[in-house]
Structure 1
Amino acid sequence: MADAPLKVDFISGAVDYRRRQGGGRGQALPKALGFRKGVTPDVVDATAGLGRDAFLLASLRARVTLIERNETMHRLLAEAMARAAAESPLHGEIIARMTLILGDAREILPSLKPETVLIDPMHPPRGKSALVKAEMRQLRDLVGSDPDCAELMRVALACTSKRVVLKWPRRAALLPGLPAPSHQIVGKSTRYDVFMKLPAPAGHS
């Protein structure tokens, strides 16, 4: 049986369930990005993909800029955002905090001067491929394997003022050529490598 066409959906399914049932500030992703009482960072999602993390963060009142370089994926995201904005005032309020940009994050990030960046590249294929969901197989077929994710990380680390968070499989090796993360938040199958940026010494720009 053929897979259904890839669709981005912010109204129903897993993303809406996550919003309604437990997408709070104490969850691993918001915690890794620096959400805490009284603090809601602006976030650049440099690898937007299906947009689920961005929608969750926007539902927590963060302003989120999504960057997607694949034109088809960008169109699917834009269509999903338009549908959600028309669904209800609540969805419209969330979508209003999301800004979608088409382009290569390596080129766009420096001009944005971000404080906090989330990078969730296509993860290395798992040995048990049958466990990979159909939509993730479709997404990989569409956007590729992100062989330049280490370069994107280096760009993000160079231009981000507060922190860069890499979403990565729990047991995967660290990306080569990068500094060690400041700390990690580890879940059942996913970990967040957090790279904190130290403030510049006094007298330096």
Structure 2
Amino acid sequence: MNKSRDLVIGIIRGTHGLSGTMKIESTSGEIEHFFSLEEVRVKKGNFNKLFTIELVSGGNPLLLKFSGIESQEDARALNGFEILVPRNLACPLNEDEFYIEDLKNAKLLYYPSIDSNSIEKTSNEKTKQTKKHTKNTASTELFEKEPSIVGHITDVVEGGSGQLLEVALTESVNTLLQKTDIKQKKVFIPFNKEFIGTVDIAKKEVQLMHLWILE
């Protein structure tokens, strides 16, 4: 299993019974691809281990049993851990969708003359708040100036009410905010329509809607 290309497809959310079976939350909201898996990688922090799947069952909730996890106590120790597989084994994408993993290393752009209300009206796509997302394809005619690169997305993490983009800020933020120094070199931005506009996975570019959230 190629770790560098693995995608998160699920999160362990609890135990089921006494034999080590676990409840799984599918991050895409779909479960069909789980039934063809033979092994997965489980990761959290420094823990990173490959497990063979003994059993896949259910649907609400989805249940998994790993070889070597034989008790409720063993299963409970993995609660909250992520389940990863190679990209080709993840949930298939529909047209204009992308994996949340593909946001990593993208440039975060801010357009000084942006009209966020107009952009929202031009986008008829609905974004799924999962690891699989729909592209927002607002017209570039709404942008009057060249964008500034205000940061680079270094990670995507789970927040209390959704996913957060971890962004390493660039020096251009000082100029845009008219400040002499940005104390926080990294910020977390909610990944939703209020703060994020157009996402261009091919160009690795993500549009920031409001500059003030970087302060």
Same-fold status (TM-score > 0.5)? no
TM-score by length of 1: 0.25
TM-score by length of 2: 0.24
Structure with greater proportional strand content: 2
Structure with greater proportional helix content: 1
Q: For the pair shown, which has the larger CA radius of gyration, 1 or 2?
A: 2
